[in-house]
Each structure stands twice: as C-alpha cells, then as structure tokens.
Amino acid sequence: MSSPAAAKLAGKTVRRLGFGTMRLTGPGIWGPPTNEENALAILRAAVIAGVQHIDTADAYGPHTAEELICKALHPYPDDLLIATKGGFARHGPDRWVACGSPVYLRQCVELSLRRLNVESIDLYYLHRIDPSIPIADQIGELDQMRVEGKIKALGLSKVDLHQVEEARKIAPIAAIQNSFSIRNRDSEPIIRWCEQHDTAFVAYAPLEAGKWLHMKSSSSTADTLKELLAFSPAVFPIPGTSNLQHLEENLMAGLAP
C-alpha cells in the first residue's frame, strides 16, 4: 500500500526517510572517520536535501557520531529530529556489551546532551535491554529523565514483542528500532503492532549494511527504499552511508512531504 512521505515520530512530523550515522565512524564502528570533512559534508548534504530525522548513538565511535552531528549541524533546524541511544559499553572495534545500570544510563543521557549541545533529546532509545538488570530499572530510569525534561520521548532498540509490552507497562514508548529490509522481514509482527498502537517503527539496515549497493543499480536501491516506505505508514527507514554518491542514490526514494 502507498503512504504519505511524512508522519509523526516522537510527536514531531518529519519526512519518513531518515539518515543513520553509524557508518560515519572508523572501521568496526570505532574511532573517527578516515575523512572527517567527508562525514561532515554528508550530514549537511542530507539535511539540505530534506532529511529531517538523524539517527545516532553514543556507542558509535564511541561518541564520534554525536560529535560529528553537532559540528556539522548545530545550531539545528527547527524541523530536525535527532534521535540517539544509550546502554552499550564499547571495549574495541566491533565489541558491544549491553550495560543497563541506571547510573550508567543516566550518565549516557547527560553526556549525549552535552555532545549534541541540546537541552533535551528528541528521541532516546535504550540501545539494548541488559538481561542482567530488571527492565523496570532500565526503563524506569530513562522515564525519570523524561519527566525531568532531559528526554522528550523514549524508544527501544532490537526488541521482541514481549519486551515491548513489558516496557510499555513502565513508560510510554514512542518508537521501536529493529532491522528490516526487503529480504529480512522478521520484524513484520512488530510493525503491525506499531500500526495498532500509534508507534513508529524505525528500520535500521534497510539496505542490509550496503549489500544492495553491490547487488543492484542505484535506481533499484531507491526502489527498495520506496518499497519499505510503502510497506507500512509506521515504517521510518534510516539508511546510512559514508559515501556522498550513495546518499544521493538513497534519497532518490523521495523526500517530498
């Protein structure tokens, strides 16, 4: 089915095709990019082209992607939504360890506020649920920071329906971020749930970490993203790239309101 190119995400109407920043860091999502000016140019080009949703995380680098966003885009346009995440500790390239300690999560939020240079984060995800800590403690601490005004809306990343329902008992959840692509539709039940509960589904790896760039023509890459946008009005794809040409090809999917 077809659907509008813009919809509400965390209470803000934005164009549904966003931009993910994970690939703007160094190899293994570790350290700075090999060419910082290129990374800054890509962020600016995305916003100039009409992207209104930038997705990042404190673990990308760590800290690198948030710092690049601030350097490239601050002061931010009024219509730009920046989403970030916390709850991962990084110990090296491609090494990710869930850490849901309430003390750690509060520190994550405070430092993201500082790096992004904002008073409140538009959308903040628990990057992963830490199985060693009660979910009520993790979501409860983030919700307390929402009440304090440090976070405007809460999200969950890489979760199943049971975890979503558990989290919703503790705090309002504005968005779910899971992987979703034309060939990987494991999250379809969650998308249908999101449709019924007025919740955004943010699709990461919509091009399967660049595989489509090697398998298909540029027009097919745009067509792939168009198909995801048409799959459900709840879906907000966030393709990411460190290549300006690839960015332009991805945006061919359309950013008209």
- Output DSSP code: residue 210: T
- Tokens representing 85 are 């995440």
Pair 102, 140: CB distance under 8 Å: yes
Q: Say which of 60, 104, 124, 125 is annotated catalytic.
A: 60
Phi, psi of 242 (to 5 degrees): -110, 15
d(CA 256, CA 78): 18
Distance of CA 139 to the CA centre of its chain: 18
d(CA 59, CA 61): 6
Starting at the edge strand found earlier in the chain, the sheet holding 53-55 runs 19-20, 53-55, 81-86, 123-126, 154-157, 175-179, 200-204, 235-237
Q: Report CA-CA distances (Å) from 9 to 6, 162, 192, 194.
A: 9, 22, 16, 12
d(CA 199, CA 193): 8
Q: Verify whether residue 104 is a known catalytic residue.
A: no
Which residue numbers are catalytic? 60
